[in-house]
C-alpha cells in the first residue's frame, strides 16, 4: 500500500490550509501525550516542621498521599493554619486524614479551630479530658478546640495503639500520663540496659499538668525512625529509658518542650542516639543553652537543626546559619522539609536558604 502524505493544493485558500495544519498539530500533540510515560509513583515520606513561633505543627505526607498533622500551633488570626495549608498544597494534599493533638496548651492546640475552617479533617486523636491548671488563660486553647472536637471523629488512644495510615507506622508511647512499660518490638536497641541512668538526676515535678498528659509517638517508615514526645517532662523521659531504654535508637529526635530545661533529660537523649535533632523553638521560647549543650554532646549526633535562632543561646549555643530556619522575628515563617526514603536515608531542606543536606542510610 502506498503511503499518502497530505499536501495543500495550489487552489487551497489560506484559512483552509491553516485549519488543516492546526488539525494535524492537535493530532500530533495527542499522539505525543498518549506516548508520554506515566509519572513514576512517589516513594518518599515528606515531613514539614512548620514555624509556629515556638509551638508545634508537623505535617507528614505518605507516598500514597495520606496525611498526618501533629498539632496546629497557635490561634493567631490564621497565621499558623495558613502555613499548614501552604505545606499541604505543596504536596497536593487537600484534606487531613489524621490530626494528633498532643495536649491542650495553646501553642499546640490553639490553631485547630482556625485550621478546621480551611480544610476538612477526618479524624482527631487526643488524650481525653482536660487537666485543670491554675495558671490564668490556660483553658483558652482547649475551649476553642472543644467546639471542633464535639462535632468530630475522635480517638483517645492508649500506649501501644497505632494510627491507621498505610505505609507509615505511628505508635503511641505516652498517653494521658501513662508511659510505655515494655520494650518496643523490633526496635533497634530497645530493652538494652541504659548506662546513662547511673548518675541520672530527677527534677521537681512539672508545675503544668498538661505536659504530663501528652501523646508521644514513635514514627517508623521502612528503616527510618523518628521520636516525637511533644512536651513530655524530664522525669517522664527518665522513666521511659531507665533502667532500660524501652524506645531504642533513632535517626531523628524532635526535641522535647521546644528545648526548655523542664525537659531534655540526658539519660533519654544520649540513650536514643539520634543522628539528627530538630528543635521547634521560638526566638524567645525554648532553645535554652543548657538543653542545646546536652543535645550537641549526644554521642554520634551529626547535626542539630533549629526552627529559630535562640536569642538566649547567643553565638555559642546556636547551630550554624544553614541549620536555622528562622533567624529573627521579622523574617520568619520559614520551615524545615525532610524527605525520607524507606532504606532509612533522608534529606533535610531549609526553606529560608535552600540549603540541603543528605543523610545516608545507616550501615
Domain segments of the chain as ranges: 45-359
CA 240/CA 103 separation, integer angstroms: 19
For the chain, the average pLDDT equals 90
**Residue 36: pLDDT above 90?**
no
**Residue 45: pLDDT above 50?**
yes
Q: pLDDT tier at 310 (50, 70, 90 boundaries)?
A: very high
H, E, C per residue of the chain: CCCCCCCCCCCCCHHHHHHHHHHHHHHHHHHHHHHCCCCCCCCCEEEEECCCCCCCCEEEECCCCCEEEECCCCCCCCHHHHHHHHHHHHCCCCCECEEECCCCCHHHHCCHHHHHCCCCECCEECCCCCCCCCCCCCCHHHHHHHHHHCCCCEECCCCCCECCECCEEEEEEEECCEECCCCCCCCCCCCEECHHHCCCCCCCCCCCHHHHHCCEEEEEECCEEEEECCCCCHHHHHHHHCCEECCCCCCEEECHHHHCCCCCCHHHHHHHCCCEEEECCECCECCCHHHHHHHHCCCCCCEEEECCCCCCCCCCCCCCHHHECCCCCCCCCCCEEEEECCCCCEEEEECCCCCEEEECCCC
CA max distance for the chain: 99
Cα 328 to Cα 52, 283, 307: the distances in Å are 13, 7, 11
Q: What is the pLDDT of residues 126-136, one digit of tens each?
A: 999 998 887 77
The angle at the Cα of 48, spanning 174 to 223, to the nearest 5 degrees, equals: 65
Q: What is the pLDDT of residues 244-280, one digit of tens each?
A: 999 999 999 999 999 999 999 999 999 999 999 999 9
| Grid coordinates belonging to 205 | 515535678
pLDDT at position 39, please?
64
CB 207 within 8 A of CB 220: no
Which architecture, in CATH terms, is 45-359?
Answer: 4-Layer Sandwich (3.60)
Average pLDDT over residues 294-302: 97
Is beta strand 154-155 parallel, antiparallel or unpaired with respect to 169-175? unpaired
**Residues in Cβ contact with 50 at an 8 Å cutoff, skipping those fewer than 6 apart:** 57, 58, 59, 73, 80, 83, 84, 87, 335
Is beta strand 303-306 parallel, antiparallel or unpaired with respect to 276-279? parallel
Phi/psi at 57 (nearest 5 deg)? Answer: -155, 110
pLDDT at position 134, please?
74
- Report which of residues 20 and 200 the model is more confident about: 200
Q: What is the pLDDT of residues 166-208, one digit of tens each?
A: 999 999 999 999 999 999 999 999 999 999 999 999 999 888 8
pLDDT at position 248, please?
98
**Residue 215: pLDDT above 90?**
yes
The pTM (predicted TM-score) of the whole model is 0.89
Average pLDDT over residues 26-50: 70
Amino acid at each position: 500500500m502506498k503511503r499518502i502524505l497530505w499536501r495543500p493544493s495550489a487552489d487551497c485558500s489560506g484559512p483552509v490550509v491553516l485549519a488543516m495544519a492546526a488539525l494535524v498539530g492537535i493530532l500530533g500533540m495527542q499522539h505525543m501525550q498518549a506516548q508520554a510515560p506515566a509519572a513514576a509513583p512517589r516513594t518518599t515520606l515528606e515531613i514539614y516542621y512548620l514555624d509556629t513561633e515556638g509551638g508545634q505543627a508537623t505535617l507528614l505526607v505518605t507516598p500514597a498521599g495520606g496525611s498526618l498533622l501533629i498539632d496546629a500551633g497557635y490561634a493567631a488570626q490564621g497565621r499558623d493554619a495558613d502555613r499548614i495549608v501552604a505545606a499541604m498544597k505543596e504536596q497536593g494534599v487537600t484534606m487531613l486524614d489524621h490530626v494528633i493533638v498532643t495536649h491542650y496548651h495553646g501553642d499546640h492546640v490553639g490553631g485547630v479551630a482556625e485550621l478546621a475552617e480551611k480544610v476538612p479533617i477526618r479524624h482527631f486523636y487526643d488524650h481525653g479530658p482536660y487537666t485543670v491548671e491554675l495558671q490564668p488563660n490556660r483553658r483558652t486553647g482547649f475551649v476553642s478546640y472543644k467546639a471542633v472536637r464535639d462535632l468530630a471523629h475522635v480517638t483517645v488512644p492508649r500506649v501501644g495503639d497505632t494510627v491507621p495510615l498505610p505505609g507509615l507506622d505511628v505508635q503511641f508511647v505516652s498517653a494521658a500520663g501513662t508511659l510505655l512499660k515494655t520494650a518496643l518490638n523490633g526496635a533497634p536497641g530497645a530493652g538494652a540496659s541504659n548506662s546513662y541512668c547511673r548518675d541520672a538526676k530527677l527534677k521537681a515535678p512539672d508545675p503544668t499538668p498538661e505536659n504530663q498528659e501528652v501523646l508521644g509517638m514513635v514514627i517508623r517508615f521502612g528503616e527510618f525512625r523518628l521520636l516525637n514526645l511533644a512536651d513530655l517532662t524530664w522525669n517522664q523521659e527518665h522513666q521511659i529509658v531507665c533502667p532500660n531504654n524501652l524506645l531504642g535508637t533513632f535517626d531523628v529526635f524532635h526535641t522535647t518542650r521546644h528545648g526548655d530545661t523542664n525537659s531534655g533529660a540526658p539519660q533519654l537523649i544520649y540513650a536514643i542516639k539520634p543522628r539528627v535533632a530538630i528543635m521547634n523553638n521560638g526566638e524567645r521560647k525554648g532553645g535554652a543553652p543548657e538543653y542545646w549543650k546536652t543535645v550537641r554532646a549526644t554521642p554520634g549526633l551529626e547535626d542539630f537543626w533549629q526552627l529559630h535562632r535562640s536569642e538566649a543561646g547567643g553565638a555559642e549555643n546556636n547551630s550554624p546559619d544553614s541549620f536555622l530556619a528562622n533567624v529573627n522575628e521579622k523574617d520568619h515563617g520559614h520551615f524545615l522539609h525532610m524527605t525520607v526514603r524507606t532504606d532509612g536515608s533522608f534529606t533535610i531542606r531549609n526553606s529560608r536558604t535552600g540549603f540541603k543536606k543528605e543523610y545516608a542510610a545507616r550501615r
